Amino acid sequence: MKAFMIERYGDRAGVHAAERPDPVPGADDVLVRIHAAGVNPLDLKIRDGEFRTFLSYRFPLVLGNDFAGVVVRVGSGVTRFAVGDEVYARPGKDRIGTFAELIAVHQDDVAIKPANLTMTEAASLPLVALTAWQALVERAQVRPGQKVLIHAGSGGLGTIAIQLAKHLGAHVATTVSTAKADLVRELGADVVVDYRTQDFASVLHDYDVVLDSLGGETLEKSLRVLRPGGKVIGVAGPPDAAFARELGANAILRLVMGALSFRTRRLAERRGVTYSFLFMKADGGQLRRITPLIEAGKIRPVVDSVFPFDRTRQALEYVEEGRAKAGKVVVAMT
């Protein structure tokens, strides 16, 4: 099969097309012919080796973290899927590789594709939809009437998180540029802050939850908009000791991760709020709970651009350079 891969951690120059052996599905795997794959900032971070301390990959490594396609073979233990099923998924973190013609995925990580979406639209959703679900439903347990701030509301994660938060009954604020204001209001945002002309920390107060995908100064300022007992959930870092425990990391790595987030957690504690780091997990069961919301029109994908598969490297560069105007970038096989 043809795939886009890297031979070592590095930069954009290392991403190249190559022929790889077709994957062989295990007993509990489905083999999927990929029709489209989403492009995520996570792909760039993996390419550059940002997670090498806790994610150990073997090279050569095929990149790509979510997809939509058709099942072409099932393992002997597979009970949920059959050949010909149209599916979408975020593979497990140890089994990435969606910038390829084929992928073998554990059946527990897969869901039937929403009937109302094209393959391209479906491929844009698994990673960001699962991230939004795990942040807002699983971790924050957002309830009707709560106030939720979602940073970068026009991005791949932001566009889905706004819609999910509104479905949960929240009052939603988001930060975008003026050019994106109409889009995020259409998605359900109640308050739109122009990050170029306004300081969100001066405008917003007494929020229950912040979903932060930017990190750095934005993360620290987010602590100031929360009410006592509020939560900041960060997907851009810094990682914390709780995340290290989830990974089953050794004591040294737990100390390192605890140290990385010490300043943020200390600032949060002083304000009577909490900070936690979220590295989303593959979960077909959660995708199956999200699918009815998509089919009912509660959540709709926002696709910025579609690149042909042979231009996957250019699609990654497009995302890296911040050229996407709104939503996700996707590569399509056909």
Compute the C-alpha angle 239/235/327, nearest 5°: 160
In the numeric block, which tokens belong to residue 87? 């599916």
Residue 173 pLDDT: 98
Residue 59 pLDDT: 96
User: For the chain, what is the mean pLDDT?
Assistant: 96
Q: What percent of the chain has pLDDT over 70?
A: 100
Beta strands 102-106; 147-150: pairing state: unpaired
Query: Mean of the pLDDT values across residues 226-243?
Result: 92
Residue 56 pLDDT: 82
Q: What percent of the chain has pLDDT over 90?
A: 89
User: Count H helices, E strands: the chain?
Assistant: 12, 16
Q: What single DSSP character describes residue 298?
A: S
pLDDT at 249 over 80: no
CA distances 258 to 160, 239, 249, 327, Å, are 30, 7, 12, 32
Residue 41 pLDDT: 96
Q: How many residues does the chain have?
A: 334
pLDDT at 253 over 80: no
In the numeric block, which tokens belong to residue 241? 């000791």
Partners of residue 212 on adjacent β-strands: 234
Query: Mean of the pLDDT values across residues 287-296?
Result: 98
- Confidence (pTM): 0.96
Q: What is the pLDDT of residues 9-25, one digit of tens each?
A: 998 999 999 999 999 99
Domains of the chain: 2-124+301-332 (3.90.180.10), 127-277 (3.40.50.720)
Q: What is the pLDDT of residues 135-177, one digit of tens each?
A: 999 999 999 999 999 999 999 999 999 999 999 999 999 999 9
Residue 81 pLDDT: 98
pLDDT at 273 over 80: yes
H-assigned helices in 90-193? 119-123, 126-133, 156-167, 181-187
Q: What is the pLDDT of residues 79-94, one digit of tens each?
A: 999 999 999 999 999 9
Residue 176 pLDDT: 97
SS3 131: helix
SS3 308: strand
Q: Please, which residues have CB within 8 angstroms of residue 306's CB and are 6 or more apart in sequence?
A: 36, 120, 329, 330, 331, 332
Q: What is the pLDDT of residues 25-72, one digit of tens each?
A: 999 999 999 999 999 999 999 999 998 887 889 999 999 999 999 999
Amino acid at residue number 210: V
pLDDT at 244 over 80: no
Handedness of CA 316, 320, 323, 328 (dihedral sign): positive
